[in-house]
């Protein structure tokens, strides 16, 4: 089996090389590419993606993978895990015919353009028929790839492998039962003042400040870089080259700051993955939920907490002395944690954010079950926003058409955002147990021990374990919503002097 496995590794790394080359072209498209390059760039990326697909479905490669799968008990854990995950991916690909892939691509392309027109016109009806086709082909995909308990699991498995609807139902029931009640309680207290965050913050100064913050949380600029893009994202070409992007709004200090810390958290995870496992599943992230846990942990549990700003208030005031005159760490901490319902998911605070995800989860699951149809989905959306957030949706552009995910046919993706926050709270609670005086260290400007803890407990394992297995290894139990609520209650009692 040794020779077979070595051949498998060599093939997987060649496939990774091609995929990362395509990824580099995609990164360049968002950051550097001149406008006229768009048409040919799409062709170049498609060509490389096609080559990678041909390599992954090559007869010789498949036969070797099947041999390894049959003899996987002879392999050690990391090797066995690589074969299991590659074989699973291979099997899923085989269940989707070329005809299905082509048809899906066409429906997604049509759906995206219909969404653009509908969003511009603020009219869901212009997207409805395209969305109907997107939902129907996702239902078809569920049946083709198969599932154990619920069709939604077949789609979720691409983003959060092994996730079960029954478990998500419990989590979101807790959100409805506990978090809604807590936000209503917060609303009875005097609102915090965040007006100083809306003053003009010059772009260059924000940029320089963002670079300093990335350095302070441990981002390695020898193995990465930051650039400007319309939508912040993190991309990697192996753990030694991990890049982040941000955007700057001169009238919203938080826009760049939180995208820097959030994307920095993603990047720290990627930089901590084992380079020895390059191109293999064990060299990649476990899931989107765990990936999101790393960005949310740094953004919220660290970056929006008081100790972090006790350490960094002098730094931010060095760049923006006039805007922050008379603002101490405590006042700054309260302002950046203002809680108020918002119509737009990406503009939401960290508590109301989960109501946005809850609504999308209920709708997606309902579409697959047949509880909902696309016909009056905008009305269902609006009613849920009124029920859960107490806000009125004025038009479809700020309502059901606000996200691009459904236009791309990405159903089953949204829950990973909430899972990330819940995992983050549980991991951070464990880190505080394991690292004596952790928050005192952070308040002194030293988060190195936290990063080392994450490297040891999360990053180095790559995809060796499932999300649930990893959580149990770290905390001794599976994902538990109580850690998020405990974190939220403690923090927001400070913010609102409850």
Distance CA 464, CA 281 (A): 8
- Is residue 96 within 8 Å of residue 141, measured between CB atoms? yes
Is 347 annotated in the active site? no
Longest dimension (CA), the chain: 69
φ/ψ (deg, to 5) at 163: -65, 140
The C-alpha torsion from 264 through 467 and 465 to 14, rounded to 10°, is -50
Distance CA 252, CA 495 (A): 20
Long-range contacts made by residues 440-449, C-beta under 8 angstroms, separation at least 24? 440/307, 442/302, 442/305, 442/307, 442/308, 442/311, 443/306, 443/307, 443/308, 443/310, 443/311, 444/311, 445/216, 445/311, 445/312, 447/216, 447/217, 447/218, 447/302, 448/218
- Is residue 125 within 8 Å of residue 395, measured between CB atoms? no
Distance CA 192, CA 209 (A): 24
Closest C-alpha among 218, 215, 243, 247 to residue 231: 247
Beta strands in 180-271 (DSSP E): 224-228, 234-236, 242-246
Distance CA 192, CA 194 (A): 6
DSSP 8-state code for residue 187:
T
Tell me the β-bridge partners of 228.
Answer: 246
Q: What distance, in Å, lies between the first and last C-alpha atoms of the chain?
A: 63
Q: How many CB atoms lie within 10 A of CB 430?
A: 18
Distance CA 179, CA 125 (A): 33
480 contact partners, CB below 8 Å, separation of at least 6: 426
DSSP 8-state code for residue 341:
-
Distance CA 346, CA 360 (A): 13
Q: How many CB atoms lie within 10 A of CB 369?
A: 12
- Is residue 283 within 8 Å of residue 273, measured between CB atoms? yes
Q: H helices then E strands: how many in the chain?
A: 21, 3
Q: Which of 153, 263, 350, 364 is catalytic?
A: 263
Report residue 468 CA to chain centroid gap. 17
* Residues labelled catalytic: 263
């Amino acid at each position: 089996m040794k020779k077979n496995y070595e051949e498998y590794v060599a093939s997987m790394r060649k496939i990774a090389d091609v995929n990362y080359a395509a990824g580099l072209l995609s990164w360049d498209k968002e950051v550097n590419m001149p406008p006229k390059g768009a048409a040919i760039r799409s062709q170049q990326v498609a060509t490389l993606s096609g080559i990678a697909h041909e390599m992954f479905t090559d007869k010789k490669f498949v036969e070797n993978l099947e041999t390894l799968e049959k003899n996987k008990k002879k392999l050690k854990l990391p090797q066995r895990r690589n074969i299991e995950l590659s074989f699973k991916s291979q099997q899923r690909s085989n269940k989707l015919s070329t005809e299905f892939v082509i048809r899906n691509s066409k429906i997604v392309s049509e759906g995206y353009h219909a969404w653009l027109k509908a969003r511009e016109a603020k009219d869901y009806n212009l997207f409805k028929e395209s969305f109907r086709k997107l939902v129907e082909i996702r239902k078809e995909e569920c049946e083709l790839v198969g599932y154990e308990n619920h069709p939604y699991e077949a789609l979720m498995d691409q983003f959060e492998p092994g996730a079960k609807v029954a478990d998500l139902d419990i989590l979101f029931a807790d959100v409805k039962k506990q978090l809604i009640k807590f936000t209503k309680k917060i609303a009875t207290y005097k609102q915090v003042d965040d007006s100083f965050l809306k003053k003009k913050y010059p772009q260059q100064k924000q940029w320089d400040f963002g670079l300093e913050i990335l350095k302070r949380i441990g981002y390695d600029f020898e193995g990465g870089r930051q650039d400007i893009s319309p939508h912040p994202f993190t991309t990697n070409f192996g753990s030694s080259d991990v890049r982040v992007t941000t955007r700057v709004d001169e009238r919203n200090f938080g826009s760049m700051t939180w995208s820097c810390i959030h994307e920095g958290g993603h990047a720290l995870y990627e930089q901590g993955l084992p380079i020895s496992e390059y191109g293999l599943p064990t060299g990649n992230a476990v899931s989107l939920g765990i990936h999101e846990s790393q960005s949310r942990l740094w953004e919220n549990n660290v970056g929006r907490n008081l100790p972090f700003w006790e350490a960094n208030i002098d730094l931010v005031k060095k760049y923006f002395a006039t805007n922050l005159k008379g603002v101490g760490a405590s006042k700054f901490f309260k302002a950046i944690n203002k809680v108020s319902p918002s119509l737009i998911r990406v503009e939401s605070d960290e508590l109301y954010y989960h109501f946005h995800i809850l609504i999308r989860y209920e709708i997606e699951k309902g579409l697959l079950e047949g509880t909902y149809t696309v016909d009056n989905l905008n009305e269902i959306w609006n009613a849920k926003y009124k029920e859960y957030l107490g806000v009125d949706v004025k038009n479809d552009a700020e309502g059901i058409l606000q996200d691009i995910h459904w236009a791309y046919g990405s159903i089953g993706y949204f829950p990973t955002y909430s899972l990330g926050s819940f995992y983050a709270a549980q991991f951070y609670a464990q880190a505080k147990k394991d690292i004596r005086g952790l928050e005192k260290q952070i308040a002194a400007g030293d988060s190195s021990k936290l990063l080392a803890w994450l490297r040891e407990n999360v990053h180095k394992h790559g995809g060796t374990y499932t999300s649930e297995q990893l959580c149990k290894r770290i905390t001794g139990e599976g994902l538990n919503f109580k850690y998020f609520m405990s974190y939220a209650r403690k923090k927001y009692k400070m913010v609102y002097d409850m």
